[in-house]
Structures are given as structure tokens and as C-alpha cells.
Copies of this chain bind each other. A is one copy, B any other.
Amino acid sequence: MNFEPVVLFFVLGVIAGLLRSDLKIPGSIYEALSIFILLAIGLKGGVELAKHQVGDLLVDGLIIVLIGAVIPLVAFPVLRLLGRMSRADSASIAAHYGSVSVVTFSVGITLLGKELLDFEGYLIVYLVLLEIPALMIGVILARHGQGQVRWGKLLHEVFFGKSIYLLAGGLLIGFVAGSEGIKPLDKLFFDLFKGVLALFLLEMGLVASSRIAALREYGAFLAGFAVVMPLFSATLGTFTGWMLGLSVGGTFLLATLYASASYIAAPAAMRIAVPEANPALSIGASLGMTFPFNIFVGIPVYLWMAKTIHASGG
């Protein structure tokens, strides 16, 4: 197994939560850690992007977004028909799974570092691109035939919500500054990245442990969905990455991106745009189930998938 010490901090947080330790990360520290992670990932992506012709990436980007849009469109009927969930809940959960998780992605990058595998740094751009259509599809699915969407408020929430905004802002600054200009910031944003990720995972564990309970109330179907859906999405991502000629590392990261489910941007956006959906369901599934599944089981499996397809295909 590909063992990564940072995920132990997640375990530490889960156990603290289950045992009702008085350990808690203050809300403002959680905010600061997430601002740090979003900016750092954005900066890293921007520095990488600066090494490429942006034009070359456009076609790839379009393909990746279009195939990514398949995920919520598959998730919705599964939840609605197999799971017999309400239209609003199905749409909201579909949006969460079509959207992505920056932290899952970061754990993936961390594993590549450990395995000494390279990856296409500009993939970070797709972190931003994938979020937007997923949330819009979620709202359309929820409102289909009811036509009272607050598009203005929603689009604003999506584009200027802090996660997209900081990722995109970091990308731009990294792109403009380039790897030379960003050097004086390296000591904060790059050297400390993994340590900060560890602390963030500690907090995620604390929260996830409370979400697992919430999920239990809603039965086996949703729990099963939260495990099968990322496997399906990762398979889609593995093929897409391989087709587009990405490296093993890049293919793995795209699979991880597709497989990850949002628990920062999507919950806030859906609470405003589809208020009748129950947030305990979507956050319970994405954070209580899919997130730990991905970091412990999924990520090693996706790496194996990427290696296998490249070995067979090469």
C-alpha cells in the first residue's frame, strides 16, 4: 500500500471526534488553513501554466470539462431512480460529485511526490474549470420545469465564492509572477504546504466523524453510492487522461479529480440555490464517506489504474 503520513492526521481527527475529545480547531484557523491551501495550489498551478502556451491547453480543457459533465448527469438518475431520493436532493448530491475536492487532489499530489512521479502541473487549472459546470448542472436538474432559478445569486456564489476565487486568483498571480518572481513566497506557500495539509486533515477528520453519524441515518444506499460513484468517475478520468496522452502522474491526478467530491464550494452554493435539498445528505456522503474512501482506498487504486493502463497501452 502507498502509505502517506499526512493521512494519519485525518485518522487522528476522526478518532478524536468519535471519542469526544475536547480537541477542536477554532473556526478562524480552519478558515486560514483553507485560504492557505487554495492560494498555494493556485500559485503552483499558475507557475506551471506559465511554462506552456495557454492555447495548446484549450482543446484538452474543453474535452476534460465535457467528459467531467457526464458525472453529475449519471449521478442524478441513479440517485433519483435507484435511490428514490427527491429531485432536489438528487440534484444537489449530483452537483457535489461533479464538483471537485482540493484537499483530495492535494493528497494525490503528495503521493506523487513520494513516488517520485511527475505530472502536468497545468492540471490544476481544471480544478477551477470543473467546479463551475457541475454546480450549474445541479441547479438545472433541480429546477427543471419549475423555472425559478436565482441564476444571478448562484453564478455570483460560484465565481466569487472564496474557493474558486482564491484558486483562480492564485493561478493568475502565479502565472504573472512565474517561477522566478514567486521565489520569495516559496518558503511560505510551498515549503509549508504539506504540514498545513496535515493540520487541515486533522480538522477534516474531526468534522468527518460527526458526518458519518449523519450519514448512517440515511441508510445503505447513499453509503454505497458514495463508494461506487468515485470508482466510476475515476475510471472515466483514467481513460480520458490516457486518451489525451497525459503522463502516468497526470492520468492519476485527473482520475482523482473526477473521483473527488466537493465539500466546500458545493455545499455553500447549493444551500443558496437549492435550499430545499437537505445538506446533511450531500455533505454526509461527500465528506463522511467519499473523502475518507478516496484518501485511504481510492487514491492507491487510481494510481494502480493509471500505471496499468499506461503499461498495457504503451
A-B contact pairs, 10 of them (CB 8 A): A5-B173, A23-B165, A24-B31, A29-B29, A184-B195, A187-B191, A187-B194, A188-B195, A188-B196, A192-B192
Do B22 and A26 touch (CB < 8 A)?
Answer: no
Answer yes or no: A156 CB below 8 A from chain B CBs: yes
Do A177 and B5 touch (CB < 8 A)?
Answer: yes
Do B187 and A192 touch (CB < 8 A)?
Answer: yes
Do B192 and A161 touch (CB < 8 A)?
Answer: no
Do A185 and B194 touch (CB < 8 A)?
Answer: yes
**In the complex, which residues 210-245 of chain A have their Cβ closer than 8 Å to any Cβ of chain B?**
none
Collect the chain B residues with CB atoms within 8 Å of residue A161's CB: 21-22
Answer yes or no: A32 CB below 8 A from chain B CBs: yes
A26-B31, A161-B21 are contacts. A12–B173 as well, Cβ < 8 Å?
A: yes
**In the complex, which residues 147-206 of chain A have their Cβ closer than 8 Å to any Cβ of chain B?**
156-157, 160-162, 165-166, 169, 172-173, 176-177, 181-182, 184-185, 187-189, 191-192, 194-196, 198-199
**In the complex, which residues 3-28 of chain A have their Cβ closer than 8 Å to any Cβ of chain B?**
3, 5-6, 8-9, 12, 15-16, 19-28
Q: Chain B CB within 10 Å — which of A15, A187, A196 has the most?
A: A187
Chain A interface bracket (under 10, 10 to 19, 20 to 34, 35 or more)? 35 or more
Collect the chain B residues with CB atoms within 8 Å of residue A198's CB: 185, 188
A26-B28, A28-B27 are contacts. A5–B195 as well, Cβ < 8 Å?
A: no
Q: Is the interface of A mostly helix, strand, loop or mixed?
A: helix
Q: Which residues of A contact B (CB under 8 A)?
A: 3, 5-6, 8-9, 12, 15-16, 19-29, 31-32, 35-36, 39, 110, 113, 156-157, 160-162, 165-166, 169, 172-173, 176-177, 181-182, 184-185, 187-189, 191-192, 194-196, 198-199, 268
CB distance from A101 to the nearest CB of B (A): 19
Do A184 and B176 touch (CB < 8 A)?
Answer: no
Collect the chain B residues with CB atoms within 8 Å of residue A268's CB: 22
CB distance from A57 to the nearest CB of B (A): 22
- Additional A-B contacts beyond A35-B199, A188-B196 (5; CB < 8 A): A5-B173, A5-B182, A21-B160, A22-B162, A187-B191
Do B173 and A184 touch (CB < 8 A)?
Answer: no
A189-B195, A195-B188, A196-B188 are contacts. A165–B20 as well, Cβ < 8 Å?
A: no
Do A162 and B21 touch (CB < 8 A)?
Answer: yes
A26-B27, A35-B25, A191-B187 are contacts. A9–B196 as well, Cβ < 8 Å?
A: no
**A194 contacts which of B169, B176, B184, B195 (Cβ < 8 Å)?**
B184
Collect the chain B residues with CB atoms within 8 Å of residue A16's CB: 160, 165, 169
Do A184 and B26 touch (CB < 8 A)?
Answer: no
A187, B194: Cα distance in complex, Å: 9
Collect the chain B residues with CB atoms within 8 Å of residue A35's CB: 23, 25, 199
Collect the chain B residues with CB atoms within 8 Å of residue A165's CB: 16, 21, 23
